[in-house]
Amino acid sequence: MDNYLTPQILLSAYCQGVFPMAHEDGRIYWYDPDPRAIIPLDRFHVSRSLERTIRQQRFEIRVDTAFTAVIQACAAPAPGREETWINDDIIQAYTRLHRLGFAHSVETWQAGVLVGGLYGVAIGGFFAGESMFSHMPDSSKVALVYLVEHLRQRQFRLLDTQFMTDHLRRFGAVEIPAAEYRQRLGQALLTPATFV
């Protein structure tokens, strides 16, 4: 693995609002979107149909029990997403961050099988959502609902989703200018919250 994806460099980058993505050529590029997409934790929206799914308890939720399996599933091609930005260097780097307690997975399981989930990076009261995958309808959405509730309970201040998508917009994601993002990031980093 290249030395520019060490835990120290990754954590420093996140604290400055920057994150890495791999391109098709295998090289790592750093991103700092403007505007930036976030999900305001106090304005998270859950549809009625998803609330019904959650009440039915179709999925078992686990945290940090299969981190590498989650990131590998996020990296796998899927319909409409033949290429992903997660390569082997990214997988190794974030697995190392996970072992150090900074990267976390929220997983949905069904009958002992991992069927959906997400992963991200937590520093202080800041959580950067990196990617999610779904092998069953609503499995990643249920993981996101759990994540938001968990972040609220742990007094987190900022849930960064990096780029806006229609999928995230339905949950209440908004775009804010980079300057405002940096201000919120600074406040979140100073918040004495812990993910676990």
* Cα–Cα distance, 31 to 23 (Å, whole number): 12
- The pTM of this model reads 0.94
* Cα–Cα distance, 25 to 27 (Å, whole number): 6
pLDDT for 127 equals: 98
Residue 30 tokens, joined: 């750093």
Closest C-alpha among 35, 34, 188 to residue 121: 188
pLDDT for 79 equals: 66
pLDDT tens, the chain, 196 aa long: 456 799 999 999 999 999 999 988 889 999 999 999 999 999 999 999 999 999 999 999 999 999 999 999 999 987 666 667 899 999 999 999 999 999 999 999 999 999 999 999 999 999 999 999 999 999 999 999 999 999 999 999 999 999 999 989 999 999 999 999 999 999 999 999 999 9
pLDDT for 80 equals: 63
Q: Is 154 helix (H, G, I), strand (E, B) or coil?
A: coil
* Cα–Cα distance, 37 to 53 (Å, whole number): 26
pLDDT for 87 equals: 93
Q: Give all domains of the chain, ordered by start, each with its CATH number.
A: 3-189 (3.40.630.70)
Half-sphere exposure in the Cβ direction for 152 (13 Å, CA):
12
